[in-house]
């Protein structure tokens, strides 16, 4: 237990449960007694894509900041070498 990060394990279990719920809803037949004029339920798969897209944006921003820092560090080193 000391080596296992409980937060990561918890996040994994939540994601696994969410995926199982989505899959079970997709496999069940539609309710024939449901009101056809009622709004359709939002596709639960879209909720999964939002955190993934957000994480991708954050990762891209972090990469850009890392690149900028590397360039600025190289420029600073070059300026210090010319003095």
Mean pLDDT for back-to-back runs of 10 residues, the chain (83 residues): 72 87 84 69 71 82 91 83 67
For the purposes of burial, counting CB atoms within 10 Å of the CB of 14, is it exposed (0-12), middle (13-18) or buried (19 or more)?
exposed
Number of domains making up the chain: 1
1 occurs within a structural domain: no
- Residues in CB range of 45: below 8 A, 6 or more apart: 22
Q: What is the pLDDT of residue 82?
A: 66
Whole domain around residue 63: which residue ranges? Answer: 6-82
Distances in whole angstroms, Cα of residue 46 to Cα of each of 25, 30, 41, 67: 14, 19, 12, 32
Q: Is residue 70 part of a domain?
A: yes
Query: Residue for token digits 């709004």?
Result: 39
- Look at residue 39 and give its three-state secondary structure: coil
């Amino acid at each position: 237990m000391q080596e296992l990060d409980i937060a990561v394990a918890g996040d994994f279990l939540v994601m696994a449960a969410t995926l199982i719920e989505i899959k079970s809803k997709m496999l069940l037949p539609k309710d024939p007694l449901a009101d056809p004029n009622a709004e359709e339920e939002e596709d639960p798969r879209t909720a999964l894509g939002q955190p993934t897209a957000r994480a991708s944006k954050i990762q891209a921003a972090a990469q850009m900041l890392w690149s900028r820092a590397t360039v600025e560090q190289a420029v600073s080193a070059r300026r210090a070498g010319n003095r």
